[in-house]
Amino acid sequence: MTHKNELQELYASFARIYGDGKPIRGVFELVAAIRAAGLEPEQVSEDWLKTLNRDWVYGESLLPFQDPAANRLYHRILTGG
């Protein structure tokens, strides 16, 4: 299980990569995307974070990935399904 501090560090890294003044997705949505990709937060690299759909990061799209199956799983995770 990921510790709260590790998750905060991961989200801080996400915010640094995409921090250009626009609002970005929250930690809950980021963790859902990570899990939909078959990863745990401690397995995520900055390179992986950079592969996320930029429109999704900024809330302009509902799809974090290019892969339709991963996007469907992401939405199931978000809705608790």
> Tell me: the pLDDT tens digits for 52-68?
999 999 999 999 999 99
Q: How far apart are CA 81 and CA 61, in angstroms?
A: 21
The pTM is what? 0.90
Amino acid 2: pLDDT: 61
Amino acid 22: pLDDT: 84
Q: How would residue 4 be classed by pLDDT, with cut points 50, 70 and 90?
A: confident
Q: How would residue 81 be classed by pLDDT, with cut points 50, 70 and 90?
A: confident
Name the residue among 28, 25, 47, 46 with its Cα closest to residue 36.
Answer: 28
Per residue in 18-44, pLDDT (tens digit) is 988 788 999 999 999 999 999 999 999
